[in-house]
Amino acid sequence: MGVCDAIRHNAPVGKPTAMSAPHLPKVAGIDPMVPVSTHTAAPTETALSAPGAFLQDRLAGWVSDLTTLHELTERLAGTTTLDGALHELLAAGAALVGAGRGLLVLEPADGSAPSRTIGLGLAHAELGHIETVPRDTTAHGRFLDGLPDTDTPLASPDILGDPGLDPRCREVAAQLGYAASYTQPLATKDARRIGAAVWLYDEPARPLERQCHLVEVYARYAAEHLARLLELERTRAEASAITEELLPGRLPRFPGVRLAGRHRASPGGGGHWYDALPLPDDALGLAVGSVGGSGPSALAAMGRLRAGLRAYAVMEGEDPVAVLSDLELLLRLTEPSTAATALYAYCEPDRRTILLAGAGHTPPLVTGERRTEFVETALSAPLGMLSCWEAPSVEFTLHPGETVLFCTDGLLHRTGDTMDRAFARLHAAAAGVPKALRQDPGAIADHVLRLMLPDGLDGSHGTEDVALLAARFD
């Protein structure tokens, strides 16, 4: 069991003998099973008679404190989501100051993220009771509001016995059963306020000076980590919003065909997309594609590529090879350092026929009551990787009630399997769609995603976009 785990699984020690007089707050301690230094008082006569042993003991305590901090910061550094980091910070701080409950308010002063409050050992209703205390009477509220002289930790060792506190504060404390608190502001090196943590004690108590120092050092590191995660979350939200703007806001309604699309951007903002557009002569164009890389450059290239394909589809959509050939030329002239894949299908809903061509892209999958099989497309390199691109098109006919699934390879990669196993998994997921869901392409798409990605679209392998387009033909 590590130092951190020992802290978490052992209750705080009781009231020290030296502070056992009535009405005096006790010192909150870390469980003695955890090897953290407890030498905060002056050395005894025995220690003075053996200075070497005393110094060795103090040194061992310092090493133990550093070990504790190292393990806790390692655990915090391992968190990759903002919620995960907030809960880790709150629990670790409670262990350091010897508290059993607490709350953490994240409220960046620059407004870069909405305010949120999480609790440790407190139900949602109990957090609501605490929030009824006037904000300007609490240490964490005054810090978050930027009031003067509120940038240091503050201990309230005896809330019920302190007549200087707001009556509502004492009333809520008595109602929820806590008698003391310790508040630690969270601010970055550049003095940017991002939140505050409050730990609660069931009895009057005050953390040791050593404990206060440990939690203050830990909080400084935690604030920097939270600031990085806040920036990452903001970047992800912006990339996702831009990606959604580049995708079709609403798929067209077309006689004889029902469409559904699903998309989730990667954390860095990738370039996977899908599209559907009406064409002359009551035809329908369907397309999926992906641009290599991530970030703003991939999003910009994806937008230009999708716009180019739309234009070529309107002009010569009945010839998928010509559409992708023009797209290849466009990519080589405007995005010479970009590789992309694409699949374009020209559909005639009244005949239930599809003529398609692909450039290095995952083949579509046809699924229905009679069959579930991949369409055999001609092998071709991705767009932008050949001096002259051309591959033959493939035509196939659907039975009534069958659905065609077009997806990007991000869906396969996110499974974490090899490509062979990922293809087999996709085939099994489509074949296993319940009969009751086969009338709705959206339900089919959701069913496939659930079976392909049991951990959800934000799972551990979520480093690529996922784009899925389902077309059900009546």
pLDDT in tens, 396-422: 999 999 999 999 988 998 888 899 999
Flag whether pLDDT at 9 surpasses 60: no
Q: Is residue 242 part of a domain?
A: no
Specify the amino acid at residue 75: R
Percent of the chain residues past pLDDT 70, beyond the cut: 85
Name the token pair of 201: 């004690």
Query: What is the model's pLDDT at position 390?
Result: 63
Mean of pLDDT over the chain = 84
**Cβ neighbours around 177 below 10 Å, total:** 11
Nearest one of 471, 459, 448, 455 to 261, comparing CA atoms: 471
269 pLDDT band, cuts 50/70/90, is low
215 and 265 in a single domain? The answer is no
Distance of CA 421 to the CA centre of its chain: 27
Instruction: Tell me the β-bridge partners of 291.
Output: 271, 340
Separation of alpha carbons 467 and 343, rounded Å: 12
Q: What is the pLDDT of residues 205-222, one digit of tens each?
A: 999 999 999 999 999 999
Query: What is the model's pLDDT at position 66?
Result: 87
182 and 256 in a single domain? The answer is no
Q: Could you tell me how many residues make up the chain? A: 474
339 and 414 in a single domain? The answer is yes
Instruction: Tell me the β-bridge partners of 287.
Output: 275, 344
50 pLDDT band, cuts 50/70/90, is low
Name the token pair of 354: 């599809």
Nearest one of 401, 421, 405 to 413, comparing CA atoms: 421
Q: Which of 5-9, 110-114, 123-127 has the lowest mean pLDDT?
A: 5-9
Q: Is residue 467 part of a domain?
A: yes
**CB contact at 8 A, 272 and 292:** no
Name the token pair of 356: 């398609």
Q: What is the pLDDT of residues 419-456, one digit of tens each?
A: 999 999 999 999 999 999 999 999 999 999 999 986 65
DSSP state of 404: E
147 and 217 in a single domain? The answer is yes
H/E stretch holding 52: helix 51-77
161 and 114 in a single domain? The answer is yes
Q: Which of 192, 208, 236 is the last residue of a domain?
A: 236
Flag whether pLDDT at 355 surpasses 70: yes
Q: What's the CATH code of the domain at 111?
A: 3.30.450.40
**CB contact at 8 A, 294 and 319:** no
Residue with tokens 């130092």: 3
Query: What is the model's pLDDT at position 303?
Result: 86
Flag whether pLDDT at 163 surpasses 70: yes
**CB contact at 8 A, 356 and 326:** no
Query: What is the model's pLDDT at position 11?
Result: 40
By CB atoms closer than 10 A (0-12, 13-18, 19+), residue 442 is middle
List all residues 6 or more positions away from 46 whose beta carbon is below 8 Å from its beta carbon: none
Q: What is the pLDDT of residues 457-474, one digit of tens each?
A: 554 445 678 899 999 999
DSSP state of 254: B
The total number of structural domains that make up the chain: 2
Domain range for 210: 3-236
Query: What is the model's pLDDT at position 265?
Result: 73
Q: Is residue 241 part of a domain?
A: no
207 and 300 in a single domain? The answer is no
462 versus 151: the higher-pLDDT residue is 151
**Strand order from edge to edge, sheet including 154-156:** 116-120, 101-106, 193-201, 180-187, 154-156
Separation of alpha carbons 274 and 244, rounded Å: 11
Flag whether pLDDT at 32 surpasses 70: no
Flag whether pLDDT at 302 surpasses 60: yes
209 and 252 in a single domain? The answer is no
80 pLDDT band, cuts 50/70/90, is confident
Separation of alpha carbons 161 and 181, rounded Å: 13
191 and 264 in a single domain? The answer is no
Q: What's the CATH code of the domain at 397?
A: 3.60.40.10
Mean of the pLDDT values across residues 176-190? 94
Q: Is residue 422 part of a domain?
A: yes
Nearest one of 304, 303, 302, 306 to 285, comparing CA atoms: 306
49 pLDDT band, cuts 50/70/90, is low
